[in-house]
Structure 1
Amino acid sequence: MNGTSSSHRPLPSVISPVRISSRPADLAAIGPLLTEAQAAVGDVPALLDLAKTAAATAPKPCEGRTAFLWEILASVTAVDVAAGRVLEPHLDAAAILGQAAALPAMDGRDYPDFDGIHFDGAWGVFAAEAPGLRLEAKATDGCFLLHGAKPWCSLAAQLDHAVLTAHVEGGGRAAFAVDLHADGVSFADPAWTSRGLREIRSGTVHFDAVPAVPLGGPGWYYQRPGFAWGGMGVAACWLGGTVAVARNFTASLQRAADAGREPDQIALAHVGEIDRTLAALTGYLAQTAARIDAGELCDGGAWREALRVRGSVATAAERIQTLVSQNLGPAPLAFDEAYGKRMADLALYIRQHHAMRDDAQLGSLTLGSDSQW
């Protein structure tokens, strides 16, 4: 996947960041990261190193530079969707650990107790559930031990640590930090046959009495506003992949025009639709990031806003993929490896959005509160 086929056109020497609201001078700081991301395409260890490097300087949500955080995520994903898929959970884990460390004392002890957890490794976030699989955390002799299985653990065998959710005694789920190199951790063969995100293999991890550090109490992981902020960070990645698809499209039309084949009215109309869609999305994300930094989305309303952001970006991504695919036809899907990879990667990534089910959840929240419209 590191090779370059004869059908590839050379990438520009300067890879443009995806702008949401930052000044050009600030966006220029992302440039070296994007160059490293391009060099690491298809190389998972290199992408994990990239994530660790980015985490050292990337802002966390609600610290005054949320838009810049999202620009980092979007820009890296515009270079390569899989690169963004590696970066996002590592940065999210760093944010979760920071939020947990700021919690007050609970149940007579401080949460969390980070003794033995090393932060210089690569992190993932595993919160998915699946029928027939259950991960439980049991309090034993003053600590928690994990028992059971966790599905959809992307790159687990190549990570050092993870933030994950587990069922706890008394009901509900809580978050824990776990060392993935600990005794009792085993990785099932994911049998990953996907054509999208082929290098981001996701499978089941088994835990047999594995020590874990609690991050807050039952329900904290889902109730904190950071859960919504993290969900919007994923949407920023979707945006970045979509911008890359759109850039590829306009570059193809420009090359054709340079060769004497001007775009027809349908192609121009689709470019116009893509332009206004992306302008509206980036404006919406800029506004939302500013609201997070102003402390306006630090309560139950944060998840409602996350559903809006994620739904808007996912819908736009699917629409823009359709427009571009219809215009460019089968040739790039068949012969342009970079284009085909991006389209397949993005199509799988946005399936983290639950489409009409998420809209139904948003509708329920809308009916139960005052609408902004």
Structure 2
Amino acid sequence: MIDDALSRRAALGVALLPGSPLDSADLDRLVRWRDDARLRAGDAAEALALARDIAPHVGGGVSTATRWSALATIARADLTVARAVEPHLDAQDILATATAVDLAAIGAGPSSTWGVFAAESPDTRLEAQDRPPAARLSGTKPWCSLAGRLSHALVTAHTDRGSRALFAVALGSAAITVRDDAWVARGLSGVPSGPVDFHDVSAVPVGADGWYLERAGFAWGGIGVAAIWWGGALGLADSLARSASTREPDQIALSHLGAVDAALHAAGVSLAHAAAIVDAGGATRSEARILAARTRSIVARAVEETLSRCGHSLGPAPLALDAEHARRVADLTLYVRQHHAERDDAALGRALVTEGAR
């Protein structure tokens, strides 16, 4: 029986950032959300109900470590559920910090479910035209997760002033075409993220041009996604721990188990460090961007090492015969590719050179 930090975390089944200041009520909620995520495993539609339940408990005034621990705990249980929950929470944060957003104009309320569509593609473009008091969106937006199941979304679009701005839209309009058939992924198959066509759709501005991308919260949201990668990797590490506990492990299995524990602990410390900086406030946009890039890179490397070592240690059997494990590997392999590997490392290097941060 292997009795180490990794297996103790597995027994609890939550994902706490190292040093997280959680009280008993916080921990009880994490355990409940873990159980809810397990019940909703693979079902994005059910996950949206969980997102509405979680939002009031991880909004303003809650420590960032608690918030990211919640995301990681849900991801440890099921990545499909986490992938549906995260953008809803991100949208709530964005709307809470924006001013004078007329959500009633698009029929949004407490029961709304939200996505955030901010990706860009060289092949598509979404344009916004001012028609006060609203705006009109036309064109195609790529990578729109669950657009066919959400009631509303925050969407970035190019303005006629040569910038990008954020807009709130209702997704039920007949002027919106969701192309779920473009999503052929085997990972996160329950979270279709194909393109969406907008045909002169009414939208409500959220902040001024550039506000969404320039705010520090944009970087913090990117680290929140990394917390989900980390939680998903902890779920894979659970498989290693169970394997070592149910049969006598050889030195190779022990080596993989130890290396994964060290890598994921380091990633957790990096996330905890970032959470403390977020809560301390005062980070400049440059500092926030660099911290996010560093943290995401550290976590992505730990996730990739976990995927590799699990494959080497456990062999093909769980990939072929264990549906939960196979789905987690496929989901996490796709999800972590939101980190663009060497390209994101190069962007970090460029920021260090041009902005002089260390």
Tell me if both proteins adopt one fold, taking TM over 0.5 as the criterion: yes
AA of the residue aligned to 2:37? A
2:155 corresponds to which of 146, 164, 169: 164
2:21 alignment counterpart: 22
1:333 corresponds to which of 300, 305, 319: 319
AA of the residue aligned to 1:131? P
1:239 corresponds to which of 218, 221, 230: 230
AA of the residue aligned to 1:255? T
Secondary structure at the counterpart of residue 102 of structure 2: coil
1:259 alignment counterpart: none
d(CA) in 1 for partners of 2:185, 2:12:
28
2:37 alignment counterpart: 37
AA of the residue aligned to 2:350? S
Give ranges in structure 2 of 5+ residues lacking alignment: 1-8
Matches within 5 A, 1:113-124: 113-117=102-106, 118-119=108-109, 120-124=111-115
1:98 corresponds to which of 96, 105, 111: 96
1:82 alignment counterpart: 80
1:268 alignment counterpart: 254
Runs of 4+ in 1 over 6 A off after TM superposition: none
- Shift in Å, 1:351: 0.6
1:219 has 2:213 as partner: no
Secondary structure at the counterpart of residue 121 of structure 2: coil
2:5 alignment counterpart: none
Once the two structures are superposed, residues 258-292 of structure 1 have per-residue CA deviations (whole angstroms, 9 ceiling, x without a partner) of: xxxx2122221222211221221212211211111
- Shift in Å, 1:13: 12
Once the two structures are superposed, residues 57-104 of structure 1 have per-residue CA deviations (whole angstroms, 9 ceiling, x without a partner) of: 2234xx450000000000000000111101111100111111213xxx
2:198 alignment counterpart: 207
Using a 3 Å threshold, how does the CA distance of structure 1 residues 188 and 278 change in structure 2: closer, same or farther? closer
1:176 has 2:171 as partner: no
1:56 alignment counterpart: 56
* Partners of 1:15 and 1:35 within 8 A in 2: no
TM-score, normalization: structure 2? 0.92
* Partners of 1:59 and 1:66 within 8 A in 2: no
Secondary structure at the counterpart of residue 140 of structure 2: strand
1:311 alignment counterpart: 297
- Shift in Å, 1:370: 4.1
* Partners of 1:135 and 1:148 within 8 A in 2: yes
d(CA) in 1 for partners of 2:40, 2:133:
43
Once the two structures are superposed, residues 198-222 of structure 1 have per-residue CA deviations (whole angstroms, 9 ceiling, x without a partner) of: 1011112111121111111221111
Using a 3 Å threshold, how does the CA distance of structure 1 residues 214 and 57 change in structure 2: closer, same or farther? same
d(CA) in 2 for partners of 1:268, 1:345:
25
* Partners of 1:166 and 1:175 within 8 A in 2: yes
- Shift in Å, 1:14: 7.2
More helix, by proportion: 2
Secondary structure at the counterpart of residue 186 of structure 1: strand
1:344 alignment counterpart: 330
In the alignment of these two chains, the number of paired residues is 345
1:153 alignment counterpart: 144
Identity of aligned residues (%): 43
2:307 corresponds to which of 290, 306, 321: 321
* Partners of 1:59 and 1:68 within 8 A in 2: no
Q: Please report the RMSD computed on the Cα atoms of aligned residues, expressed in angstroms.
A: 1.8
d(CA) in 2 for partners of 1:92, 1:13:
27
Using a 3 Å threshold, how does the CA distance of structure 1 residues 302 and 141 change in structure 2: closer, same or farther? closer
Give ranges in structure 1 of 5+ residues lacking alignment: 1-11, 102-110, 257-261
TM-score, normalization: structure 1? 0.88
1:251 has 2:242 as partner: yes
Secondary structure at the counterpart of residue 202 of structure 1: coil
2:351 alignment counterpart: 365
1:104 alignment counterpart: none
Using a 3 Å threshold, how does the CA distance of structure 1 residues 68 and 165 change in structure 2: closer, same or farther? same
- Shift in Å, 1:354: 0.7
d(CA) in 1 for partners of 2:179, 2:220:
31
Using a 3 Å threshold, how does the CA distance of structure 1 residues 236 and 13 change in structure 2: closer, same or farther? closer
d(CA) in 1 for partners of 2:284, 2:48:
30
Matches within 5 A, 1:102-141: 111-117=100-106, 118-119=108-109, 120-141=111-132
AA of the residue aligned to 1:152? W
Using a 3 Å threshold, how does the CA distance of structure 1 residues 116 and 319 change in structure 2: closer, same or farther? same
d(CA) in 1 for partners of 2:30, 2:120:
35
AA of the residue aligned to 1:18? A
